[in-house]
Amino acid sequence: MLNKKVAIVTGGTRGIGLEIVRTFKKNQAEVVLFGSKEESVMKTVSLLKEEGIDVLGYYPNLNDYEEIEKKVKEIYERYGHIDILVNNAGISANKKIEDTSIDEFNSIIDLNVKAIFNMTKAVVPYMKKEKSGVILNTSSMVSIYGQPSGVGYPASKFAVNGITKSLARELASDNIRVNAVAPGITNTDMVAKLPKEMIDPLIKSIPLGRIGEAKDIANAFLFLASDMASYITGVILSVDGAARS
């Protein structure tokens, strides 16, 4: 479904991001994964190689635009085109507002919002050259319903939705599609860190009777990245088992 397309996936070393990397590679894309640390990137690249999957891995600071711009240019010069950008890197939060420091709030906004701006700004000029491209952002079910505590996380994901819908309109004339996937409760290490009292009530609200798996979410990204979704842009696709909060 992605034959010979070049994709960059941020937050590609674990969880949903890692499964997106696997799924894209199995569908014949060239994939470059970005992670936060050299150790985690090298470990993931090695793990994938053991699975018979070859990818490039880098660990740029997503809040340093000049560093991002340089790395994206390097990728473009290596492959001659960049077709897909998946802005998946992010961090969650669950503290009540009185227990959340200003620095903690800023860290969430920096990675979940500003990094998307930086990556997208760096990639768009190359997509415009080709008059083609797909930008996919990882949102969340909390961008629709909010959550009981940890206000920085839903705030950042509401922003992701706004970026997605606005850029879809802005970039449509260049045949660049922009969509987001809003996962529900998904079986990842990030969710495993959340308190049981927060997760259990949410699971009970899922009509399909289970939490999602990373593969469920990666398949949604695959569809939106592929030509099968060529007339879809500006959509926030919920993949949550019809969960409601």
In degrees rounded to 5, what are phi and psi of residue 9? -125, 115
Q: Of the listed 76, 79, 153, 231, which one is catalytic?
A: 153
Q: Give, in order, the Cα–Cα distances in Å from 91 to each of 22, 169, 178.
A: 21, 27, 21
153 assigned to active site = yes
Residue 80: which region, alpha, beta or left (left: phi > 0; alpha: psi -120 to 50)?
left
What is the token pair recorded at 192?
A: 């495993």
DSSP string, 141-209: THHHH--SS-THHHHHHHHHHHHHHHHHHHHGGGTEEEEEEEE-SBSSHHHHTS-HHHHHHHHHT-TTS
Measured distance CA(190)–CA(14) in Å, rounded: 9
Dist. CA 44–CA 132, nearest whole Å: 29
CA–CA gap between residue 43 and residue 48 (Å, rounded):
9
Amino acid code (one letter) for 129 = K
What six digits make up the tokens of 65?
Answer: 């635009």
Helix (H, G, I), strand (E, B) or coil at 64: coil
**Residues labelled as active-site residues:** 153
